[in-house]
Structure 1
């Protein structure tokens, strides 16, 4: 199982994403942060990479998996 999780979340009124301690921000919209996280996950070449959105209500949802895209 991969440990490559790209977490998208809202902080101080701006959306951002993080992976292994590296933060990418700010994004004006949730969708822009998700798109950026997916692009970074694809570029990581990790076959088990995932993008997970942590909404302000503390619910988490996986929105993308490299394994799904690659047919694994």
Structure 2
């Protein structure tokens, strides 16, 4: 079972949080969520796919642990 890493990156001055799992040399799958949720919605799917894929599940701006952009 792969470890899920909880990371963040800066984009246009905002902190964007994301979950990452799986080997970095495997094909990457970007798990994007809809409104109004966060990468947390993939918490059960990530462990199932992490042995075969490099997974990235971001919290889009304003959701989860990512910064809320100014109005």
Structure with bigger helix share is 1
Q: TM-score, normalised by structure 2?
A: 0.34
Could you tell me the TM-score, scaled by structure 1's length? 0.33
More strand by share: 1
**Bigger radius of gyration among the two:** 2
